[in-house]
């Protein structure tokens, strides 16, 4: 694995020279994660921020009735971590699990802090990245309130089609806030279109 996709991500978020981007990604290390392996478990402090080179992960938690609820999917060229736990150094309230075999670039909390203090560009990249994550979270929250299940399904197909090919239907249904039966009905309707 080479760091080209990671370098390209830095340059797409914050225009900079290739040599500067190479400096910023220098501390990232590779990790292979097997299908079903956990990157993070509830109660642990998130110590690594993973950039997914290949594969898909998901974050999930349990509702008050003990039902597993998928809160996010992370696929190729996305970061997978619990930002609140990572930055605030608090125990996570979610699990992050690999849905497929994954290859990631990861940065530890300590190395990220070093980069923040060493490179102004890394601080700016981090700020823009957190804004993007916040925007995604806000859009998801509003979609759960303002869109139909069909619209949420359509958005998922358009924004992250890999999830539909690799995630079990029960995880997709819980992410969309619907039952497995409703998801089956929606999928059949989409096939007819």
Beta-carbon contacts of residue 105 (< 8 Å; ≥ 6 apart): 1, 3, 6, 25, 28, 29, 30, 31, 50, 51, 53
Whole-number pLDDT of residue 190: 83
Map tokens 């478990």 to a residue: 41
Domain ranges for the chain? 4-145, 147-193
Tokens in use for 111?
């190395």
Whole-number pLDDT of residue 49: 96
Q: Which bin fits 89, alpha (ψ -120 to 50), beta or left (φ > 0)?
A: left
Whole-number pLDDT of residue 21: 92
Query: What is the per-residue pLDDT across 40-78, written as a single tens digit (0 to 9) for each?
Result: 999 999 999 999 999 999 999 999 999 999 999 999 999
**Prediction pTM value:** 0.90
8 A C-beta contact, residue 149 and residue 182 = yes
Whole-number pLDDT of residue 191: 78
Computed over every residue of the chain, the mean pLDDT equals 94
Query: What is the per-residue pLDDT across 75-109, written as a single tens digit (0 to 9) for each?
Result: 999 999 999 999 999 999 999 999 999 999 999 99
| In CATH, 4-145 is 2.60.120.10 | yes
8 A C-beta contact, residue 53 and residue 4 = no
């Amino acid at each position: 694995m080479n760091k080209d996709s990671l370098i390209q991500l830095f340059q797409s978020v914050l225009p900079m020279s290739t040599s500067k981007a190479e400096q910023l990604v220098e501390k990232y290390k590779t990790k292979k994660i097997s299908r079903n392996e956990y990157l993070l478990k509830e109660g642990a402090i998130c110590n690594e921020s993973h950039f997914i080179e290949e594969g898909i992960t998901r974050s999930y938690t349990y509702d008050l009735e003990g039902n597993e609820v998928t809160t996010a999917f992370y696929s190729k060229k996305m970061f997978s971590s619990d930002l609140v736990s990572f930055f605030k150094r608090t125990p996570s309230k979610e699990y992050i699990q690999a849905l497929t075999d994954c290859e990631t670039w990861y940065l530890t909390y300590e190395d990220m802090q070093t980069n923040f203090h060493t490179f102004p560009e890394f601080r700016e990249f981090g700020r823009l990245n957190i804004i993007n994550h916040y925007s995604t979270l806000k859009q998801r929250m509003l979609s759960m309130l303002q869109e139909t299940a069909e619209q949420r399904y359509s958005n998922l197909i358009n924004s992250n089609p890999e999830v539909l090919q690799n995630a079990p239907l029960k995880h997709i249904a819980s992410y969309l806030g619907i039952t497995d039966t409703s998801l089956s009905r929606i999928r059949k309707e989409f096939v007819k279109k």
